[in-house]
Structure 1
Amino acid sequence: MKKYKIQVLIGFSLFVFGSVQAQKTDQFLSLDMGGGLHSMQYSLQNGKVKRQFGYGFHLSYSYFFNSHWGVQTGIGMQKCRSEATLNYQSSTSEIDSDGDSYEFRNRFDNWQEKQDVYFVDIPLSIQYQKMLGKKFGILAGLGAQISIPAQAAYETTGGEMVTTAYYSQWNVELYDLPQHGLGSLTTKYKGDISLNPSYSAIAELDGFYQVSEKIDVYAGCYCNYGFTNLISPEKKIVYQPDGVYNGILASDQVSKVDLLSFGLKVGVRFRINKVRRSISRKKGSINEAQTAEHSGPLLPAGSVKEELGIEAAKTGSMNEVQATEHSGLLLSADSVKEELDIEPVKSEIKTSVNKEETPIEKARQISDSMNLEFSFNSIELIKEQDSNFKILSNLLKENQEIQLQIIGHTCNIADYETNMIVGLKRAEYVKSKLIELGVPPFQMEIESRGLNEPLFENTSEENRAKNRRVEIKVISK
Structure 2
Amino acid sequence: MKTNNIKAATKSAISGLAFILALISVQGQALAQSKNEVSFYLQGSFSKLKFEALGQDSEMENGFGLGAKYAYYITENWSLGTGAELQYMEGSIFLPTVQGSFLTQDAEADEFEFRYRATNFSENQEVYFLNIPLQVQYESSGTVRFYGAAGVKAGLVLNSQYQSSATSLETSGFYSQYDVELTSPEFAGFGEFGAVKNAESELELKTNFVAHLESGVKLILENSQALYMGLFLDYGLNDIKPDASRARLIDYNAQNPTDFGFGSLLSSRRDINALKDRDEVRTLAFGIKIQYAFQF
Q: Shorter-chain TM-score: what band?
A: 0.7 to 0.9
Aligned match of 1:93 in 92, 97, 103? 103
- Alpha-carbon deviations, 1:153-202, whole Å to 9, x = none? 22235422222112345442212333332332523212121111101111
Pair 1:156–1:99, CA change in 2 (3 A): closer
Pair 1:30–1:75, CA change in 2 (3 A): same
Report the more deviating stretch, 58-67 or 157-166.
157-166
Counterpart for residue 296 of structure 1: none
Aligned match of 1:58 in 54, 67, 70? 67
Superposed displacement of residue 98, structure 1: 5.2
CA separation in 1, counterparts of 2:187 and 2:32? 73
Q: Tell me, what secondary structure is at the counterpart of 1:248? A: coil
Counterpart for residue 284 of structure 2: 260
CA separation in 1, counterparts of 2:169 and 2:56? 14
Are 1:173 and 2:181 counterparts? yes
> Would you say the 8 A contact 2:92–2:123 is kept in 1?
yes
Are 1:208 and 2:218 counterparts? yes
Are 1:241 and 2:252 counterparts? yes
CA separation in 2, counterparts of 1:47 and 1:169? 37
- Alpha-carbon deviations, 1:309-340, whole Å to 9, x = none? xxxxxxxxxxxxxxxxxxxxxxxxxxxxxxxx
Counterpart for residue 239 of structure 2: 229
Q: Tell me, what secondary structure is at the counterpart of 2:115? A: strand
Larger Rg: 1
Counterpart for residue 147 of structure 1: 155
CA separation in 2, counterparts of 1:250 and 1:198? 17
Superposed displacement of residue 75, structure 1: 0.6
> Would you say the 8 A contact 1:222–1:263 is kept in 2?
yes
Counterpart for residue 132 of structure 2: 122
Superposed displacement of residue 256, structure 1: 2.6
Counterpart for residue 42 of structure 2: 33
User: With CA pairs under 8 Å and 6+ residues apart, which has the higher RCO, 1 or 2?
Assistant: 2
Aligned match of 1:156 in 164, 167, 182? 164
Counterpart for residue 119 of structure 2: 109
After TM superposition, which residue ranges in structure 1, 4 or more long, deviate above 3 angstroms? 22-25, 95-101, 168-171, 233-236
Pair 1:23–1:118, CA change in 2 (3 A): farther
CA separation in 2, counterparts of 1:111 and 1:25? 56
Give ranges in structure 2 of 5+ residues lacking alignment: 1-30, 254-259
Counterpart for residue 3 of structure 2: none
CA separation in 2, counterparts of 1:23 and 1:213? 11
> Would you say the 8 A contact 1:198–1:228 is kept in 2?
yes
Pair 1:47–1:180, CA change in 2 (3 A): farther
Superposed displacement of residue 25, structure 1: 4.3
Q: How does 1:40-439 map to 2 (within 5 A)?
A: 40-45=49-54, 47-86=56-95, 87-96=97-106, 100-131=110-141, 134-183=142-191, 184=193, 186-190=195-199, 191-230=201-240, 231-234=242-245, 236-242=247-253, 243-252=260-269, 253-254=274-275, 255-271=279-295, 273=296
Whose helix fraction is larger, Structure 1's or Structure 2's? 1
CA separation in 1, counterparts of 2:209 and 2:237? 6
- Alpha-carbon deviations, 1:47-67, whole Å to 9, x = none? 442120111112111111111
Q: Tell me, what secondary structure is at the counterpart of 2:68? A: strand
- Alpha-carbon deviations, 1:91-120, whole Å to 9, x = none? 223344556542211111111221111111
> Would you say the 8 A contact 1:111–1:161 is kept in 2?
no
CA separation in 1, counterparts of 2:247 and 2:268? 5
Give ranges in structure 1 of 5+ residues lacking alignment: 1-21, 274-477
Superposed displacement of residue 234, structure 1: 3.6
CA separation in 2, counterparts of 1:173 and 1:48? 34
> Would you say the 8 A contact 1:165–1:173 is kept in 2?
yes
> Would you say the 8 A contact 1:225–1:260 is kept in 2?
yes
Task: Using the aligned pairs only, state the percent identity.
Answer: 23
